[in-house]
Structure formats: C-alpha cells, structure tokens
Amino acid sequence: MLVKNLEHLILLASNPNGDFEDFFVSIAKGFARSSKRILYHPEHEEFSIINEIDESFQEFHVSEIEKHTNLIEAIQQGALFKVYRGSN
C-alpha cells in the first residue's frame, strides 16, 4: 500500500501490541528497494526504525523525521510502501 503522507505513515506504523510494521522505499524506479521495519509510539510521538540492510536502529520524535530519514522525500515521490503479508 502506498503511503500517502506523514499522517498515513503514523496510522500504518502504529501497532498497539508493539510489533514493528514492514515498509519499503522503492529505489531506481522500482528496480531495488530499501526495506524498513517501523513502529510509531503515540504516547511519545516517536518513531522507531530498523533498517533491514544493516539492522541499524533509529529512534526520534515525529518532528525530526525529515532530519534523520529520507521517508518524507520517499512519500513525496510516491516511493514508500507498507508491506502486507497474507496468511497461509
């Protein structure tokens, strides 16, 4: 699912049980992707992000998302997607 804006990202990354949600940034017109696990903590207005490529961890206030990530740029370019996994 395409992430439409920051508010939509907050909604999609919020999980009351504390599990990270899977996202990816489409790179090079879809030929590659940068996978991320994202969780939004509404009680602190903070994001926690795990970058799959190197398992690096980031945590920051929602107001700092553009300073610490390329997610806002990806949203503006229509390149940030939420991954949904079907049950088998």
For 19-30, write each residue's pLDDT tens digit.
999 999 999 888
Instruction: Report yes or no: 15 and 39 within 8 Å, Cβ to Cβ.
Output: yes
pTM metric for this prediction: 0.91
41 inside domain: yes
Please tell me the total count of domains within the chain.
Answer: 1
31 inside domain: yes
1 inside domain: no
Instruction: Report yes or no: 6 and 72 within 8 Å, Cβ to Cβ.
Output: yes
Over the chain, what is the mean pLDDT? 94
For 41-81, write each residue's pLDDT tens digit.
999 999 999 999 999 999 999 999 999 999 999 999 999 99
Q: Name the nearest CA neighbour of 83 among 27, 13, 30, 29.
A: 13
Structural domain of 68:
6-82
